[in-house]
Amino acid sequence: MTELDSELLGWVRDFIRDHENVTAEDITREFFPDDPSMARACLDLFMAGRTTTKRLRSGDIDWDQYADGETHQLTAEVIQARHGITIPQFRKRLSMCCRRRGRAYMAHKSLGVLYFRIGT
């Protein structure tokens, strides 16, 4: 079994929050199709309360504040200050959130600024 990445744990945590009843099988199917023991390891960490690292806590992005159909622009410094992550990490989380919610989105980076829009 490989070590659990804190960003991946954040995605699993978001998945759990977005769904009412989540089983280890749901997590395995969504994130670890080749290694069911990883889903159990994630759940064990959550149950033990050992996932409260700064990076994991900073993964709590309120996507609803951006889901107004408007184009938003955030610099790398703002993303780092607000969420404790980089532009590529922010884009990856944006992509995963929109896919999970079935929403269209647009994102591109230019000169250290991320421009993005989430469809309503």
Q: Give per-residue pLDDT as tens, 22-75.
A: 777 888 888 888 888 888 777 777 766 544 443 344 346 888 888 888 999 999
Biggest CA pair distance of the chain: 42
Q: Residue range 87-115: average pLDDT? A: 91
In the structure encoding, which two tokens stand for residue 107, read together?
């994102």
Q: Is 84 left (phi over 0), alpha (psi -120 to 50) or beta?
A: left
Q: What is the pLDDT of residue 4?
A: 66
Tell me what pLDDT residue 58 has. Answer: 35
What residue numbers bound the domain in which 44 lies? 6-56
> Last residue of a domain, which of 56, 71, 98?
56
User: For residue 71, which of 118, 20, 2 has the smallest C-alpha distance?
Assistant: 118
Kindly state whether residue 82 falls inside one of the protein's structural domains.
yes
More confident residue, 43 or 77: 77
Asked if the model's pLDDT at residue 21 lies above 50, the reply is: yes
* Cβ 55 vs Cβ 65: under 8 Å: no
Query: CA nearest 118: which of 105, 100, 99, 102?
Result: 105
| Contact in structure between 18 and 63 (CB atoms under 8 Å) | no
Across the range 77-101, mean pLDDT stands at 87
Structural domain total, the chain: 2
Let me know if residue 46 belongs to a domain. Answer: yes
Q: Is residue 1 part of a domain?
A: no
CA distance 16 to 118: 22
Q: 75 and 44 in one domain?
A: no
Alpha-carbon span 32 to 46, nearest angstrom: 16
Residues 112 and 67 in one domain: yes
72: in domain: yes
Residue finishing a domain among 56, 76, 97: 56
**If you count them, how many residues does the chain have?**
120
| 74 and 31 in a common domain | no
Kindly state whether residue 19 falls inside one of the protein's structural domains: yes
